[in-house]
């Protein structure tokens, strides 16, 4: 998937604010509704319903206060203001008991942020923090991701927000919609939501995608307005179809189609909508000629700029799901030669050893981990491979080599060692970057890198999770799990920031480690199963 190349300014969490003189309660500003307080490990989590419509100017934000007694005195339990409808009060130990209350705040940005109005406080709610247990924390990681895709989804369409600091923009990333399907299903399996409620949410999403969101030869844009369905240009010439984003969406829809197999009307309509969207993608439209003279799938097409983006999908990376789906389409299937000549082009693999690990897919040592996650939320990496190795084994080697690299840089970057690890595409102090060993490494660790690698290196991924939670949880943990990234060398945390495509794989890949459930469900997809059989039968011998 094309990287989110820019992030938006983080002004609400830490910017200085001037309070209005009397801070009078305004009856026109609604009190946060339906506050749920949850007793969790070393913390208390609060979630509430979002306002009917977010406002960018003036900005609507929130405050949470806590007190030992229901009558107070109450004190704010976070810095600045909360840009979304949730807060995790990380207390760092079990048995901490507090009463909490929430209010909405209206800010106006002039030369500084000024409080214009405040709502009344909600009635106090009470909870106690729980003891720490590694196995239970894994499930709470899944719950936190589910919240992002369910509780924090757009109220009109149900689409997930592209990132957490810009609720008012109403931007949704197409790939994350597919990831959200995995997380919603996990919500059912883990008891976070009823099957009926989850099915109704999925139906709302598929109905919006089918009847309201703009499509181009069946493919969706990178960014969609979650209220109107209109395309939001990602870059000046990227204002039309994004085939890879669409492929990740289709992966999620097929997963939902296989899971919601009930006879009732809602689940039947989910299957109908998913098939209509899936069958409507004209993969053949995107076939172009590669630099090697072979057929290849192109990433973008625009009604205005046509093929001006000029980005073809070939060579190992995050695009495997695109080719597997294009070869599986019941209506617009591309020829198998695109897999062998387009994606698996002459620069596909190499023979390299880095930090004592043989890495057959790496011509240079630049292992950024997200390509080991996105496609393989659904595709079982044991079911497909390269040069005699399954992708599961190859990705295990990726993780091992990256961990050894990071241990070798412990004198250069604070926190690097055997416990903290994980380089991938994420936020950093300058915006967004595909972090990887070598010149692309600036000391930024992304929690999603290790957590989503749990099927490959479970012990090391769990050790990283526990290190982040127990030693850095106060700074790193929020209502939707760990924040996007942190850099201990630069004393920086992506405070209150979540990026959809980093949250998305964590819960499903934890589930694949625990039960293999996501793989089990998706691998039942008959169209893809037939394609995998053909690929295994026709794979050329490299030795």
Residue 137 in this model has a pLDDT that exceeds 80:
yes
Tokens of 6: 């820019």
Kindly report, residue by residue over 360-375, the tens digit of the pLDDT.
886 666 789 999 999 9
Tokens of 411: 């004198």
Residue 517 in this model has a pLDDT that exceeds 50:
yes
pLDDT level of residue 349 (50, 70, 90 thresholds): confident
Domain 17-131 architecture: Sandwich (2.60)
Per-residue pLDDT, 363? 60
Kindly report, residue by residue over 185-200, the tens digit of the pLDDT.
999 999 999 999 999 9
How far, in whole angstroms, is CA 315 from its chain's centroid?
24
Q: What is the rounded CA–CA span in Å between residue 297 and residue 313?
A: 6
Strand partners, 47: 36, 86
Residue 540 in this model has a pLDDT that exceeds 80:
no
Tell me the mean pLDDT in the region 140-146: 98
Per-residue pLDDT, 168? 65
Interacting residues of 3 by C-beta distance below 8 A, sequence separation 6+: 425, 432, 434
Task: Residue 151: count other Cβ atoms within 10 Å of its Cβ.
Answer: 20
Tell me the mean pLDDT in the region 474-496: 97
Tokens of 77: 């339990």
Per-residue pLDDT, 56? 65
Closest CA to 81 of 10, 159, 173: 10
Task: Residue 248: count other Cβ atoms within 10 Å of its Cβ.
Answer: 28
pTM of the full predicted structure? 0.94
Buried b (16+ CB within 10 A) or exposed e, 251-287: bbbbbbbbbbeeeeeebebbbebbeebbeebbbbbbb
Percentage of the chain exceeding pLDDT 70: 92
Pick from 165-169, 272-276, 331-335, 462-466: least confident: 165-169
Per-residue pLDDT, 66? 98
Query: How confident is the prediction for the chain on average, in pLDDT?
Result: 91
Tell me the mean pLDDT in the region 408-432: 94
Percentage of the chain exceeding pLDDT 90: 80
Report DSSP letters for 126-183, one per residue: EEEPBPP-HHHHHHHHHHHHHHHHTTTS-TTT-PPPSBTT-GGG-EEEHHHHHHHHHH
Q: Which fold has domain 135-538?
A: Glycosyltransferase (1.50.10)
Residue 489 in this model has a pLDDT that exceeds 80:
yes
Per-residue pLDDT, 291? 81
Q: What is the rounded CA–CA span in Å between residue 308 and residue 141?
A: 41
**Rg of the Cα atoms in the chain:** 23
Tell me the mean pLDDT in the region 107-119: 81
Kindly report, residue by residue over 206-223, the tens digit of the pLDDT.
999 999 999 999 999 999
All structural domains of the chain with their residue ranges: 17-131, 135-538
Residues 201 and 184: beta-carbon distance below 8 Å: yes
Kindly report, residue by residue over 277-287, the tens digit of the pLDDT.
999 999 999 99
Q: What is the rounded CA–CA span in Å between residue 135 and residue 468?
A: 15
539 or 180: which leads in pLDDT: 180
Give the residue carrying structure tokens 């909405």. Answer: 104
Per-residue pLDDT, 542? 57
Residue 15 in this model has a pLDDT that exceeds 50:
no
CA dihedral 375, 378, 380, 386 (to 10 degrees): -20
Residue 18 in this model has a pLDDT that exceeds 60:
no
Per-residue pLDDT, 27? 61
Residue 64 in this model has a pLDDT that exceeds 60:
yes
Q: Are strands 17-18 and 113-118 parallel, antiparallel or unpaired?
A: parallel
Tell me the mean pLDDT in the region 440-455: 97
Residue 17 in this model has a pLDDT that exceeds 60:
no
Per-residue pLDDT, 7? 37
Per-residue pLDDT, 24? 58
Residue 111 in this model has a pLDDT that exceeds 70:
no
Per-residue pLDDT, 339? 93
Give the residue carrying structure tokens 């969609």. Answer: 224
Residue 12 in this model has a pLDDT that exceeds 50:
no
Per-residue pLDDT, 478? 97
Residue 314 in this model has a pLDDT that exceeds 80:
yes
83 or 108: which leads in pLDDT: 83
Kindly report, residue by residue over 501-513, the tens digit of the pLDDT.
999 999 999 999 9
Q: What is the 3-state secondary structure (H, E, C) of 485-498?
A: CEECCCCEECCCCC
């Amino acid at each position: 998937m094309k990287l989110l190349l820019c992030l938006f300014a983080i002004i609400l969490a830490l910017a200085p604010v001037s309070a209005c003189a009397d801070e009078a309660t305004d009856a026109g500003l609604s009190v946060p509704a339906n506050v749920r307080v949850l007793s969790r490990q070393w913390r208390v989590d609060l979630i509430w319903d979002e306002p009917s419509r977010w406002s960018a100017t003036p900005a609507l934000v929130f405050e949470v206060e806590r007190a030992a007694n229901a009558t107070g005195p109450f004190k704010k339990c976070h810095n600045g203001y909360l840009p979304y409808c949730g807060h995790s009060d990380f207390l760092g130990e079990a048995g901490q008991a507090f009463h909490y209350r929430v209010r909405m705040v209206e800010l106006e940005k002039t030369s500084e942020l000024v409080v214009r109005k405040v709502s009344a406080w909600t009635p106090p709610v009470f909870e106690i923090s729980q003891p720490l247990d590694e196995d239970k924390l894994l499930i709470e990681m899944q719950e936190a991701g589910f919240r992002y895709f369910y509780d924090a989804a757009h109220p009109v369409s149900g689409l997930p927000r592209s990132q957490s600091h810009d609720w008012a923009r109403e931007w949704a990333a197409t790939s994350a919609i597919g990831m959200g399907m995995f997380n919603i299903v996990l919500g059912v399996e883990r008891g976070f939501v009823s099957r009926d409620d989850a099915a109704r949410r999925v139906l709302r999403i598929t109905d919006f995608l089918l009847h309201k969101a703009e499509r181009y030869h069946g493919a969706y844009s990178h960014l969609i307005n979650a209220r109107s369905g209109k395309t939001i240009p990602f870059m000046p010439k990227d204002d039309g179809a994004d085939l890879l984003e669409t492929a990740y969406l289709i992966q999620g829809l097929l997963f939902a189609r296989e899971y919601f197999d009930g006879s009732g009307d809602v689940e039947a309509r989910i299957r109908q909508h998913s098939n209509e969207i899936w069958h409507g993608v004209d993969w053949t439209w995107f076939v172009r000629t590669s630099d090697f003279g072979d057929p290849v799938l192109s990433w973008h097409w625009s009604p205005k700029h046509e093929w001006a983006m000029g980005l073809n999908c070939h060579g190992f990376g995050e695009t495997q799901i695109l080719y597997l789906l294009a070869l599986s389409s019941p209506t617009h299937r591309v020829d198998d030669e695109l897999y062998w000549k387009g994606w698996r082009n002459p620069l596909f693999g190499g023979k390299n050893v880095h930090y004592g690990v043989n890495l057959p897919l790496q011509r240079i040592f630049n292992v950024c981990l997200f390509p080991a996650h996105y496609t393989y939320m659904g595709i079982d990496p044991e079911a497909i491979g390269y040069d005699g190795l399954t992708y599961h084994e190859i990705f295990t080697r990726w993780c091992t080599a990256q961990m050894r690299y990071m241990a070798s840089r412990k004198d250069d970057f604070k926190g690097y060692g055997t416990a903290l690890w994980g380089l991938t595409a994420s936020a950093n102090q300058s915006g967004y970057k595909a972090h990887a060993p070598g010149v692309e490494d600036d000391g930024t660790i992304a929690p999603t890198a290790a957590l989503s690698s749990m099927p490959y290196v479970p012990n090391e991924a769990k050790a990283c999770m526990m290190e982040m939670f127990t030693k850095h949880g106060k700074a790193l943990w929020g209502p939707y799990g760990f924040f996007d990234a942190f850099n201990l060398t630069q004393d920086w945390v992506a405070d209150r920031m979540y990026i959809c495509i980093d949250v998305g794989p964590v819960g499903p890949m934890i589930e694949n480690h625990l039960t293999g459930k996501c793989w089990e469900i998706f691998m039942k997809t008959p169209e893809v199963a037939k394609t995998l059989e053909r690929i295994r039968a026709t794979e050329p011998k490299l030795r």
